[in-house]
Amino acid sequence: MDGKLFLVPTPIGNLEDMTFRAIRILKECDLILAEDTRTSAPMLKHFGIDKRVFSHHQHNEHKATAEIIKFLQEGQKIALISDAGTPAISDPGFFLVREAIKNEITVECLPGATAFVPALVNSGLPADAFCFEGFLPVKKGRQTKFKKLAEEDRTIILYESPHRLLKTLEEFAQYLGVDRQASVSRELTKMFEETVRGTLTEIKSHFENNTLKGEFVICIAGKPAKKSKSKYDDVEE
């Protein structure tokens, strides 16, 4: 009997965003891997899901993966969830998925909640092409990353914590220009959901005088295309 690894997105705030399929898979699987069992317990209880739950996070995933692969090879159906959203998107999951694929184990990812998609669509910025950066480096490589993003012509999306938001907006204004258009969303799907749009300077000013709580998604317009010069531009009328 072949095992299977399911990647199951969970709500990023509003429990009504859980899919029927996600609930069914979690109820049918043999084991659930959760980023933080204390965080996932209320959600699982809410949906009547009573399964064995093991902790699987960035500090133990390398050590635990070999045993998980063994369970899968024995035919178990295992579901991986993160604290919120889709596993492996700025959360643990990539390493386990890669090892499962190496061992020819079937991996199935369910569609579902993730914070950057609604933030991008709601931003009003171009969504036909974009780059997702997750969390920026805190120290090493941070300046290099800003210089690289200053040349990016696609919409830029990243996550940021409340205590670094103002600093990050200030640095983006420094490298990309104070008038670069952007959008910042916080507490998506929750009661105090908020999206602020405008220039980087305007958005920074807003959050200097308002609430800095919750999870933040920053969307920034890409570098404007240079206007091609016409042969008539220098002709005097």
Q: Which of 58, 85, 109 is the last residue of a domain?
A: 109
Which residue blocks in 113-230 are alpha helix, DSSP H? 116-123, 142-149, 165-176, 200-208
Residues 209 and 129 in one domain: yes
Average pLDDT (88-115) is 95
Residues 95 and 144 in one domain: no
Query: Where residue 63 falls among pLDDT bands split at 50, 70, 90?
Result: confident
Q: What is the CATH number of the domain that holds 191?
A: 3.30.950.10
Residues 35 and 85 in one domain: yes
Residues 148 and 183 in one domain: yes
Residues 18 and 104 in one domain: yes
d(CA 222, CA 128): 12
Residues 74 and 138 in one domain: no
Sorted by sequence, the CB contacts under 8 Å of residue 161 that are 6+ apart come out as 135, 215, 216
Residues 76 and 98 in one domain: yes
Whether 36 contacts 57, CB under 8 Å: yes
Count of the separate structural domains present in the chain: 2
Sorted by sequence, the CB contacts under 8 Å of residue 127 that are 6+ apart come out as 120, 121, 155
pLDDT for 57 equals 85
172 in a domain, yes or no?
Answer: yes
Residues 154 and 210 in one domain: yes
Query: Where residue 87 falls among pLDDT bands split at 50, 70, 90?
Result: very high
State pLDDT tens for residues 166-193.
Answer: 999 999 999 999 999 999 999 999 999 9
Residues 88 and 17 in one domain: yes
State pLDDT tens for residues 7-39.
Answer: 999 999 999 999 999 999 999 999 999 999 999
Residues 60 and 124 in one domain: no
235 in a domain, yes or no?
Answer: no
41 in a domain, yes or no?
Answer: yes
Instruction: Compute the residue count for the chain.
Output: 237
The SS3 assignment for 187 reads coil
Range of 90's domain? 4-109
Residues 124 and 204 in one domain: yes
Q: Which of 109, 126, 144 is the last residue of a domain?
A: 109
Q: What is the CATH number of the domain that holds 49?
A: 3.40.1010.10
